[in-house]
Structure 1
Amino acid sequence: MAFSVDVEIELVAGFLPPGGAVELRGDLFGWGPGKTMTASATNINIYETTQPVTVSVGDKINYKFWHGDNSWENDNLTDNTQNNRYYIITQTDYDAASATIEKIFNNGSLETVINQPANITFTCNTKDRSITNAPTNTVFDNVVMAGANLPLKWPDGGWTNVGDTAKVIFMYDDGTNGDAVSGDKIFTKVLTFPKYSSLTIDYKYGANFGLSTNGGSNDNEAGVSANHYLKLAKTTESATVADTFGISWTKDLTKVEKLGNTLPSTYLLEQNYPNPFNPETSIRFSIPQESFVTVKVFNTLGEEVATLLNEVKTAGTYNVSFNAKNLTSGIYFYTIKANDFSSTKKMILLR
């Protein structure tokens, strides 16, 4: 099998230095260090390698490309049915005893990256949350972030203590480094994603990294690949993301639309439409002046299941799209807070 990957965006962005290491990783190598790829003799943006395999028609080859500084590709690059890239051996491949796979790292183009650096404030709420495999009520002594997009990095398999401390980013709950309130169990970290970063930020939290209270593993927020995903717009310069430890969710900053230029006279939260809904609905709100706006969704237990908006918005009327494809049928509540205004309404997800 012949593999090639175009890393032009990674080179232009400075994520990969000229001549830097690029590897093919995947099932063929146990998802550890893989096959080193070399720059093409005719195009320095293309890295290539070949790998002998023993396969049958219909076999699936799962793989991803990786480059130095432990930067993996994002998930769902072949389709949204699984995280890894894959290739299925065809009869034509089998008859020819060869297959050629040509890809672009992260499927990148100028349409799939941000046009400027983006400062994102990540908050992770640990109130009443549990660490996987740790005893109930274990105290969160630290929270770390890991991910696929620089400055985030993925630790090596197993998230071991040795050598991985430099690959994770520690968050704060001491009122410094962007943290709003010391000791409120909401950990905070401000990260700057450089120009040409992917529009999809793939990340995950871990608790009590390197401590005996980590439940037996530093990768202890949720199951393997149960990650968080943040969808940026090309023009995103700053935003705040409110996560809850152990609840994986895709947050899409492109799903907030300003409607016209009319200035409302009062704050207003409208009933979602359609309602009941399955799985997507729209929530409209109005603010008469520039406000820091938070729109969240909760289940009937009062647990936060989604943060749809958490940033400053200018005066106007907005529409927020909410997709509940990962939630079960039932009653949910959505709430808005903007300056001194707050309002809550009920909606029904009906499968």
Structure 2
Amino acid sequence: MALFELTRTLVDINSVTGSEQACAEFLRGHLAERGYEVELQPVSDGRANVFARHGAPEIVLSTHMDTVPPFVPSREDTEFIYGRGSCDAKGILAAQVEAAERLRAGGIKNFALLFLVGEETLSDGARAANRAPRGSHFIINGEPTENRLAVGTKGILRVDIRARGRTAHSAYPHLGESAIEKLLDILNDLRRLPLPRDATLGDATVNIGVISGGTAANVIPGEARAEVLFRTVDDGRALREAVEGALRDRCEYEFVRQTPAMRMEKLNGFESSVVAFTTDLPNLTAWGRPLLVGPGSIAVAHTDHECIRKSDLVAAVELYVRLVRELEHRP
């Protein structure tokens, strides 16, 4: 199956996070037919990673199978392939499979492919894989970096907040206590927290991504919720302490995800960059020294116009082949 055809085939398999198994089964069959040793690594009920190797897996090409909702089928024109996951990360996956075929044809026998579930949420696929490493020395993770080696990524600190009040008729506000007003005060305090800066990664940032609460305009709201996500530039521990200080005794809260910022391998002769997003790599520490690179732009990932340039896919295949050949000579 040619590169563009494989990309579209993968995009046309609905694999929104939590429902990746059809994609995993397709890849198991596709790779087994080509002579790879393939296994499914169980992650949770009905979900599994795909691990396929050719010889001793000293170098691993990896990306994720899951996508954000909603499912959007593929289409193409002369320049682009469109659809959910075309950029993040099924085009990348197809490029890695094609690179693997080129490597096999060139006599390389020390690599493997690792395709993961759950990257878009809690990285549960990566966590499961990290409990069962295969002795690799390097892992090349694929994300949309515009085919430039990312030398650093920001981390994540996400906190979910629930403020409680007391309902009342809005004509008699003194009889109630507004949970929304409580929440707004809390969120304003979080926005005013001093955020760290790193010389390489830049500024940490905060996004109030979800707010909900109340039942009607004439009811004092008894409950309000928010989901807040910080993009961190270090391990996030000091920021977490500051957030806890702002929230303590004012609301209920839960830190649902904390992933540190990360530095990756640099290689001479390869164009490099820094990215603000987070990947599976912090949860794949047992798989060797990390590299991060892939075709496509994060600017269109997760959008209704997600796409990937065909020429970038072709270039990515050559880039992955070149990387593996470069790394196989390193200790």
Of Structure 1 and Structure 2, the greater strand share is in: 1
Of Structure 1 and Structure 2, the greater helix share is in: 2
TM above 0.5, yes or no, is no
Higher RCO, 1 or 2 (CA under 8 Å, sep at least 6)? Answer: 2
TM-score bucket (shorter structure): under 0.3
TM-score with structure 2 length normalisation? Answer: 0.22
